[in-house]
Structure 1
Amino acid sequence: MAESRKSSDNRKSAESRKYPGQLVYGLDIGTRSIVGTVGYMYDKKFHVVAIESKPHETRAMQDGQIHDIAAVSESITEVTSRLQIKLGRPLHEVCIAAAGRVLRTVTVHVEQDLSETRDVTSEDIYSLELLGAQRAYERFIEQSTLNIKFYCVGYTVQRYYLDKYQMTDLLAHKGSNIGADVIATFLPDEVVDGLYKAVEMSGLHVADLTLEPIAAMEVAIPQSFRMLNLALVDVGAGTSDICITRDEAVVAYGMIPSAGDELTEVIAKHYLTDFEGAEQIKYACDAGKEFTYNDIMGVERKTTPGEVAEVVKDTVKIITREVSDQIKKLNGGKPVSAIFVVGGGGRIAGFTESLAEEMGIDATRVAVRGEDVLKNVDFKDKSLPEDSLLVTPIGICMNFFRQKNNFIFVSLNNVQYKLYDNSKLKIMDAAMQADIPNADLFPKRGAEINYTINGNKRVARGEMGEGAVIRLNGDSASLSAQIKAGDAIEVEPSTAGEPAHIRIDELPEYTDYIKLVVNGSELNVPKFAEVNGTLQSGYYDIQDGDEIIMRDYVLLPQLLEFIDLKAEKDTDILINNVVADNETKIYENFKIDLLIDDSPIETAAEPVSEEKEETAADDDAPEAAAHGENNAGGEGTSAAADAAVKEESGKAESNGAAPGAESNAATESGAATETAAADGSAPESGSDNKEEASGGSDPTAMNVTVNGELITLHGKTSYIFVDVFDYIDFDLSKPHGKMVVTKRNGMRAEYSEYLREGDRLDIYWEK
């Protein structure tokens, strides 16, 4: 084992001596060919250690868009295999660039306040840039009218600001506010997805994605040139990609879907050859040599560069006019000072001269950039000529180092996302970047019921559903699981629980009662519920928006029904010594005398004695009272109360008026009582239902402090950290920093951590 470890260390040491910098693999997946480059950055120069090229055998790509993913993947595999043989080592990750087909750009200004006046760090700068890219994406979504999903393929910082003053660079400067103007580029998702699929089918992972003109600019237009108003045109086979520089910044990107393939098609039609034969004629023309070819009839023929130039002259003029118009549009309607041309399509005879004419500038100010801009590149592998065809492949590699590899790509639900790598990335960060709503990550409550009871607002919350099902590389994981480049994440949205369900007999107020004295004996009569002006029984299911009033009085017919007594003609009923009728309201502690021929009627109520009154005064509402164990009427209490409800409801209907129309005049004594007295009269059926619904464990309230504010959690028997998001205004749907920090009593906390009474919680975005 020791020898094996020593051998491995020796190999690493040998590789370190051979390649003093990190090797990066860049792949230019062009419309006509694929160019792979492997190299490293050292001493401010890029060193190419291996390079390979392979033309597509079929028209697998057209206008920068992959049409045959499998064919392109095979070509990538072959190029990669050749490079691995040259290097003597495997390649696992690759940097790629997308052509600007259907390109869209958005420019935004963003600022960030630092916590104090201090030195600006590289992490501050990357956070600012990422914020700019995110803001640009948000604005793009707001402005887009296309029903197409777009992907941010890259961005460029036009200029930085320190405390509102423009700066070339922010690193190590001291300040309290930093800002940036960021131009972000977007392409349709199908363009990006095709590139990723082709790369992944070849067994590689994408380490970096950029735009072809951004990559070409890294090589063709150094920073010192960007103070000038210049245009860079990358004329490929399918698209001509454009970028504009001015005032030391890249100010615009654009493209036109016309390039070298249009020239090839004209040549094929004129010389009667297939597409591949026309490509060979075009390449020979670029080299300035006479060329012998066979047409489709098998006849051998010859052509010269001058003849080919004349054949494509009109098409060149059309393409250069489109390029010129696009440059002027991107440059505010004005011509630029000079144009650099890269890519194979721009090498055709007469292209630069025609472009200068269309732009209205001197012909010497339009030039093909190739070998001259590659002087700062050390080609250790010289198997390909150093010309403009290599500008973009080299730029793809150099862009990786400019980004300093501070971004990684992960897959979430089969879609690639680019994340700023702060070494602390979690699945939650990827979910935020993917715009997965917070509600789809955490368990959802079922529909709640909002109602009022005696004028006080109440909410019955639905049950909690299941949290999101999360898998990381096929294994179960949580939102707090850390992720790395190339990880595959799957998120199945959380589910909602059962909707809230509550009956009137489950309300604490319903277990209250009205205490009366009937014929000298104490009697507990249940309260009656009025819902939206209509009397309802305890079995009524409360609906959203219901207005419930627990009456603090009973009417005489309800009392008689409750004690199962029917008033006869010779029955006199006195309430507080006053003769009563059916509309008389009977409140707490009222005295009722039921007389037949001036003699009291016997009832089941308990006699009131001084000893009992003292005992009742000292009793603190034992639980038995809530179940009606001491109520007159025994098991028939609930049935009697329901019968009274039906009687009054029927009476109200016949009279055409809602019952309780005079309830506003009633006193509210006892309405706020939440626990029954010693001999309370809650119906047994209601009590049993409540016990079943709660499972024997009542919800409890818990007080915690969140970001300095006291919050009361309620409705559950226990609480975890994520529950506080139901009570605070904290937007998790869009990132406002690098990551969400959650602390409990000063220590880092997980979303699933249980809370205790008095906990101090902190939730904020880390800038």
Structure 2
Amino acid sequence: MEFEYCQNQYIFALDIGTRSVIGIVGKIEDDRLKIEAEEMLEHNSRTMYDGQIHNVPKVAEAIRKIKNSLERKTGQKLHQVAVAAAGRSLITKNHYYEQIIDNNIEIDRSLLRSFEQAALDEIYQELLKEIENKADYHCIGHSIITYKLDDFPITSLIGHRGKKIGAQIIATFLPKTVINGLYSVLYRCSLEPINLTLEPIAAIEVAIPESLRLLNLALVDIGAGTSDIAISKNGSIIAYGMVPLAGDKITEEIVQAYLVNFNTAEQIKRQLSHKTEIIYTDILGQENTVFNNDLMKTINPALDLLVEEICDNILKLNDGVAPRSVFCIGGGCQIPTLRERMSRRLNLDYTRVIIRDRAALVDLERGSQNLINGPDGVTVIGIAAVAYKNLPHDFISITVNDHLYRIPKTQNTSVASTLCAINYDIKNLLGKNNASLQFTLNGQKTVLYEEKQQSTDIFINGLKANLNSIIRDGDEISIGETQRPIIPRSFVRDYLPETGSAVEILLNEEAAYPDTEIKNGDILKIIALSKAENANVEAEPMRALPNKAIVSSIHIADNASESGEKLTVNDTPDKSIISDSSHEILPAQQITVFVNGEAVKLSGKYEHIMLDIFDAVNFDTTRPQGKLVFKLNSQDAAFTEPINDGDKIELGWEPRDLKTT
């Protein structure tokens, strides 16, 4: 049996940095992250500044290369990704929120998530009162400093009961332009963000685990465009900060001093730590040599400014006092003398300012590649760890058409929700809309439908089921092939009157005979003749005149009887039906329904069901973005539920409870 890739088992994480993009595919085994594959790619030009995307197509190109490489290495298709954001305009809010609850109900994850979301909503409303551009900020993540149960501090609320719960929360906000740029890049690469967090939140998740947070520690992630800061104390994360200065500030000094382009300056900077003489070619094409000591003198002012900004922000976030120790990660922290300068600025022993790389991460199982072991490879691990922490951990195993899947366990999981979870296009389940033959009969639109809908059979463990059937762990779902619609056939003779009178037949303004088959879009006219013309026809039951076919319906009936067919035709053509036939003529109905408040017209069928909505609106069911919201007149609806003119339909995705962290 083939095992199908499940987004909730493997985690694809991207660290989209100012100078490079790092991607990993990992899997959690025994509470440790095992790296299955990883890839790193530098931007070939300055496409990002200060952690913010400027050139969307160029950044998307880099991510697409990372994605394609990881797909080749893992043999899996990657559709969902965990990411983190950074930017110079970070706003943080520290807020206490409390709520009265039913003390007879045990606090579970669902209640806790709702409580935290209510707290974030209140914080956001406070933020709107303080900022001028009220629509331009988005909550990018939050951390709990402490919980309270009935006014007593507690480390976790899960499983408890009480009358009142509270929490001290740090919420972080970034401009929506930063987030929109990030999402735009991902969508260009056909990637859905399953978790979005702040870079320092991700970094501290693994660099300073909970077991160390009793200590007053500072984490500094020095990248190319920004330096991200997080502070721990008394078992919690108490503050986040961001400095819009990092490694690029040093590189820009080298550009100006040695008349080189940015990429050459970056290469010169990277050789500082291991070469005494650095050879380079300037923009004039001249080869030059610079000594390590001279280069350090050149960058000293920029390096001092960077250290000053970082350390002053650490002191500001930590109530004016230096932390016990500073952990440095990110490629920028490898600049020579940086640690010494930071220790002097914070009045710490040099040994208290250290560089953390992947070797220091206790819950990481490195793969065989080991491509990125330095401090620049830590944040992407944190992004994956935060995403895993927020994904549902209760799964059930089900089989769909001999493919095994693991999906999140929910209450009353249905076939429909299961198919959405595995990216199955539910529109295929009912095949095409009923096949129809449409033509005009004596000026009236006529539609011929198949009576039986071309549906797809669904079985659970061999028993007939439907989209609303509930599934359980270990169930086997079988979905038959979608049947091809059969277009009904009809002939002119089916619409001739039984009065015994002769008629003139015109099909698309040309003569036609009873055995002529009617095609889609045809215009059929059956014209009764005068008494005089009827008398002439009796002697010659079937004859042709120029551009006309004049026939006697009595003669047609006789011929039909001889051939064994039974024709029963009513006097009114638009209501004619054929006895012993598998189809009937019904008028096509056009109805107007309101989908998310917008008027949508449905036509071409005599009965419409909820599933038809997907053909009328642009809604992709193969890329779930949470729980499917599907309501008819404010009530949860099934896909096969009939809909009528004027109905109100809600269609969308209910966001995952912890989309941001």
Please confirm whether the aligned pair reaches a TM-score higher than 0.5, indicating the same fold: yes
Partner Cα separation in structure 2 for residue 40 and residue 314 of structure 1: 44
The answer to whether the 8 A contact 1:309-1:348 is kept is no
2:113 aligned residue (106, 121, 126): 126
1:107 aligned residue (94, 102, 108): 94
Partner Cα separation in structure 1 for residue 178 and residue 383 of structure 2: 17
Aligned to 1:183: 170
Partner Cα separation in structure 2 for residue 284 and residue 262 of structure 1: 16
Residues 487-526 of structure 1: matches in 2 within 5 Å?
none
| TM-superposition CA deviations, 1:242-269 (whole Å, max 9, x none) | 1111121111111111111010111222
Aligned to 1:485: 625
| TM-superposition CA deviations, 1:25-55 (whole Å, max 9, x none) | 1111110011111101111211111110111
Aligned to 1:255: 242
Q: Does 2:194 match 1:202?
A: no
Aligned to 2:122: 135
Aligned to 2:70: 83
Question: Equivalent residue of 1:296, what SS?
Answer: coil
Q: Does 2:139 match 1:152?
A: yes
Deviation at 1:331, TM superposition (A): 1.7
- 1:384–1:302 Cα change, 3 Å: farther
The answer to whether the 8 A contact 1:51-1:381 is kept is no
Deviation at 1:372, TM superposition (A): 3.8
- 1:174–1:466 Cα change, 3 Å: closer
Deviation at 1:174, TM superposition (A): 3.6
Deviation at 1:308, TM superposition (A): 3.2
Q: Which has the higher contact order (CA 8 A, sep 6+)?
A: 2
Deviation at 1:387, TM superposition (A): 0.9
Q: Does 2:266 match 1:279?
A: yes
Question: Equivalent residue of 1:384, what SS?
Answer: coil
Partner Cα separation in structure 2 for residue 470 and residue 334 of structure 1: 60
Partner Cα separation in structure 2 for residue 338 and residue 157 of structure 1: 22
The answer to whether the 8 A contact 1:470-1:489 is kept is no
Partner Cα separation in structure 1 for residue 310 and residue 371 of structure 2: 28
**Paired letter, 2:137:** F
Aligned to 1:661: none
| TM-superposition CA deviations, 1:252-299 (whole Å, max 9, x none) | 111111111010111222232211011111222245575432222333
Aligned to 2:151: 164
The structure number with the bigger radius of gyration is: 1
- 1:289–1:217 Cα change, 3 Å: farther
The answer to whether the 8 A contact 1:470-1:478 is kept is no
1:469 aligned residue (595, 598, 603): 598
Q: Does 2:302 match 1:315?
A: yes
Unaligned runs of 5+ in 1: 1-8, 407-419, 426-464, 491-719, 723-740, 743-751, 755-767
Question: Equivalent residue of 1:115, what SS?
Answer: coil
1:267 aligned residue (254, 257, 265): 254
**Paired letter, 1:468:** G
Partner Cα separation in structure 2 for residue 488 and residue 354 of structure 1: 54
| TM-superposition CA deviations, 1:705-741 (whole Å, max 9, x none) | xxxxxxxxxxxxxxx988xxxxxxxxxxxxxxxxxx9
Q: Does 2:288 match 1:301?
A: yes
Deviation at 1:138, TM superposition (A): 1.6
Q: Does 2:328 match 1:341?
A: yes
**Paired letter, 2:252:** E
| TM-superposition CA deviations, 1:126-178 (whole Å, max 9, x none) | 22222222222122112223455101111111111122211112222343332
Deviation at 1:475, TM superposition (A): 5.4
- 1:483–1:90 Cα change, 3 Å: closer
Deviation at 1:209, TM superposition (A): 0.6
Partner Cα separation in structure 2 for residue 422 and residue 287 of structure 1: 55
- Aligned-pair identity (%): 34
The answer to whether the 8 A contact 2:358-2:373 is kept is yes
| TM-superposition CA deviations, 1:94-113 (whole Å, max 9, x none) | 11110142000112222233
**Paired letter, 1:36:** G
The answer to whether the 8 A contact 1:374-1:386 is kept is no
Q: TM-score, normalised by structure 1?
A: 0.52
**Paired letter, 2:119:** G
- 1:204–1:285 Cα change, 3 Å: same
Aligned to 2:2: 10
Aligned to 1:245: 232
**Paired letter, 1:385:** I
Deviation at 1:326, TM superposition (A): 1.4
Aligned to 2:32: 45
Deviation at 1:395, TM superposition (A): 0.7
Partner Cα separation in structure 2 for residue 153 and residue 298 of structure 1: 46
Residues 548-627 of structure 1: matches in 2 within 5 Å?
none
- 1:288–1:391 Cα change, 3 Å: farther
Question: Equivalent residue of 2:3, what SS?
Answer: helix
Partner Cα separation in structure 2 for residue 154 and residue 108 of structure 1: 14
Partner Cα separation in structure 1 for residue 411 and residue 378 of structure 2: 32
Residues 634-673 of structure 1: matches in 2 within 5 Å?
none
Question: Equivalent residue of 1:324, what SS?
Answer: helix
**Paired letter, 1:180:** A
The answer to whether the 8 A contact 2:47-2:59 is kept is yes
Partner Cα separation in structure 1 for residue 152 and residue 50 of structure 2: 42
Aligned to 1:385: 372
Deviation at 1:117, TM superposition (A): 3.4
Aligned to 2:46: 59
| TM-superposition CA deviations, 1:580-614 (whole Å, max 9, x none) | xxxxxxxxxxxxxxxxxxxxxxxxxxxxxxxxxxx
**Paired letter, 1:469:** E
2:350 aligned residue (348, 359, 363): 363
- 1:33–1:250 Cα change, 3 Å: same
Moved more, 317-326 or 118-127: 118-127
The answer to whether the 8 A contact 1:129-1:157 is kept is no
Partner Cα separation in structure 1 for residue 628 and residue 43 of structure 2: 30
Aligned to 1:225: 212
| TM-superposition CA deviations, 1:200-220 (whole Å, max 9, x none) | 111111111100101111111
Partner Cα separation in structure 1 for residue 344 and residue 92 of structure 2: 28
Residues 519-534 of structure 1: matches in 2 within 5 Å?
none
The answer to whether the 8 A contact 1:118-1:176 is kept is no
- 1:137–1:423 Cα change, 3 Å: farther
Unaligned runs of 5+ in 2: 394-407, 414-593, 601-610, 637-645, 649-661
Partner Cα separation in structure 1 for residue 316 and residue 95 of structure 2: 19
Aligned to 1:354: 341
Question: Equivalent residue of 1:173, what SS?
Answer: coil
Aligned to 1:93: 80
Q: Does 2:56 match 1:69?
A: yes
Partner Cα separation in structure 2 for residue 172 and residue 300 of structure 1: 69
The answer to whether the 8 A contact 2:219-2:326 is kept is yes
2:361 aligned residue (357, 374, 392): 374
Partner Cα separation in structure 2 for residue 423 and residue 191 of structure 1: 36
Partner Cα separation in structure 2 for residue 260 and residue 168 of structure 1: 38
Partner Cα separation in structure 1 for residue 83 and residue 278 of structure 2: 34
Deviation at 1:224, TM superposition (A): 1.5
Deviation at 1:482, TM superposition (A): 14
Question: Equivalent residue of 1:329, what SS?
Answer: helix
The answer to whether the 8 A contact 1:128-1:180 is kept is no
Partner Cα separation in structure 2 for residue 487 and residue 265 of structure 1: 47
2:17 aligned residue (21, 30, 33): 30
